[in-house]
Amino acid sequence: MLMADGKMSPDQMFPMFMIAHLPAGVRGLMVASIVAAAMSTMSSSLNSLAASTVGDFYIPWTEGRRSDCCYLKVSKGTTVAQGVLQLTMALMAIKFSNRVIDEVFGLHSFTGGLILGLFLLGLVARRRSAAAGGGISIGIVVMLLVYLSTSLSWRWYSAIGSLTTLTAGWLTDHTMKRFGRPEYVG
């Protein structure tokens, strides 16, 4: 479990502590609690993905003409497909990084900043759909450029993404106001 230079990988410290210092019964409880936490996280993730896929895409696509039984079957199939997709992504992530948690936090910061920017934009913009479209489009482009062309830590992604999305959306909103687009909401 030690690396070539005699140091232990940070990802292996807690499991090694459990093996070396905890009694057998407590080790079992720790493993059971870790598995339960993982199952709970995966369950909520898969459930929300299936619900949003069926509710936001499939039901509008079918115009609500299918039975509840059909929607349940589609939801179950979506859950299985997204579970396989998540498993595949996790296995691929192991090959790209020694510390998968950094990649997960990086992805969360990447998308979380964009979503925060959209939320803030919804509070200040009058033409919400146009402002959101402009803001998120420019926010994604800027975040991709930051991710691909700099070595900036993922800890900055939320701030950059939210400020870029908010600023670009606000500018879109004011540009449309200047050119007299009447899409005011509320």
pLDDT surpasses 80 at 99? no
The residue segments making up the domain with residue 144 are 97-186
Instruction: Report in angstroms the alpha-carbon separations of 78 from 50, 58, 82, 171.
Output: 6, 10, 6, 38
Decide if pLDDT at 184 tops 90. Answer: no
Q: Over 80: is that where the pLDDT of 11 sits?
A: no
Q: What is the Cα–Cα distance from 33 to 46, expressed in whole angstroms?
A: 20
Q: Is the same domain home to 56 and 116?
A: no
Whether residues 154 and 129 share a domain: the answer is yes
Task: Tokens for 1, please give them.
Answer: 């479990």
**Are 106 and 65 in a shared domain?**
no
Number of domains in the chain: 2
Count Cα neighbours of 169 within 13 Å in the Cβ-side half-sphere: 31
Indicate whether 60 and 107 sit together in one domain. Answer: no
pLDDT tens digits, residue range 56-92? 888 888 888 889 899 999 999 999 999 999 888 878 7
The DSSP letter of residue 66 is S
What pTM does this model have?
A: 0.57
Q: Quick one: 183 and 109 in the same domain?
A: yes
Domain boundary among 29, 59, 94: 94
Q: Does 18 share its domain with 90? A: yes
